[in-house]
Amino acid sequence: MSRRALAVLAAGAAAHVVAAAAFAATVVVAPGHMDGWAVNNDTCGAATTGSVDFVSGPATPPAGTGSVQFTVGANGDSYPTVRQSDYNGVKLADLTSFEYWTYVSHSGSGAQAPYIDLYVDNNNDGTRDDILTFEPVYQTSQGAVAPNTWQRWDAEHGLWWSDSMGGPPPLFTLSSYVASHPDAKILNVGGGGVILAAGCGGAAWANFVGNADKLTIGVRGSDTTYDFEAASTTSGPPTSKDQCKNGGWRSFTNPSFKNQGQCIAFVNHHNGKGDDDQHGDKNHQGDKKDHGGGKHHGRKR
């Protein structure tokens, strides 16, 4: 019987809702609320010409209305990245889902697309021993990289290559790497250990422009999906509970909120339907207090 079913039997319908929430969550990532992500506009050679931007579109992204965009520029060794630090110490053996979507506006000359790097410690000494890379260009069973369209990539079951093995090739699955490196874990370096990136590959990456969105990482069955969005222009206040959900509470600045619950409480206090709206200034004074506050595809790294 699943853990979710056990939770239902043990604690009833209310506990079922809580258990379900623990298994899947969507986090909106945008300038001002990065939630463990950091931009690192690095280089594997000469001075970077790359950049990272949070933009609307392109076209219709798989989550929300925006995405993170990687521009490499004239120097194909530029290494524009966003790095997530919340998975430091997570064992590769505990990863149960790993997927994301890409969109390529200008592919350079080698059918590239934004890729994933994992910084890995294989022997628990706190030192990076390897860099594992998932590149869409090598996922022939998942289809070829196509321009100007959103494509989903399954990294959990796809093919990776290893910096320490001098790849690519060889190409291998994460499960096969874990079989030979059972203690392998993610290690934060330079802002994070889970990295979305482009470039770091010389002339083949020159002038590349591409986007990524809806990155899902599962650890022991608990999935987190990262929805990358442009900076919000919303100021506030919220007028419905739905505006507070799925990270929407972060977009309000007048007033600002500390979490989704505080945003929903504000709506409840000001919707003209409940007792909270009939108690006058005393409750609203309380409201003010509550709401104040690489080597890739021949790359050098």
* Element spanning 18, H or E: helix 3-23
pTM score, whole prediction = 0.76
Q: Is the pLDDT of residue 260 over 70?
A: yes
Q: Is 203 in contact with 297 (CB distance < 8 Å)?
A: no
Bridge partners of 223, per DSSP, are 24, 218
More confident residue, 115 or 3: 115
Please give the distance of CA 197 from its chain centroid, rounded to a whole number. 12
Q: Is 70 in contact with 107 (CB distance < 8 Å)?
A: no
pLDDT at residue 233, rounded to an integer: 60
pLDDT digits (tens, 9 = 90+) for 95-105: 999 999 999 99
Q: Is the pLDDT of residue 249 over 80?
A: no
pLDDT digits (tens, 9 = 90+) for 99-124: 999 999 999 888 899 999 999 999 99
pLDDT at residue 18, rounded to an integer: 39
DSSP state of 202: G
More confident residue, 235 or 74: 74
Assign 3-class secondary structure to 238-276.
Answer: CCCHHHHCCCHHHHCCCCCCCCHHHHHHHHHHHCCCCHH
Q: What pLDDT band is residue 258 in, cutting at 50, 70 and 90? A: confident
Q: Annotate 100-151 with DSSP letters as a single string.
A: EEEEEEE-TTTT---EEEEEEESSSSSS--EEEEE-GGG-GGG----BTS-E
For the chain, the first-to-last Cα distance in angstroms comes to 46
More confident residue, 207 or 247: 207
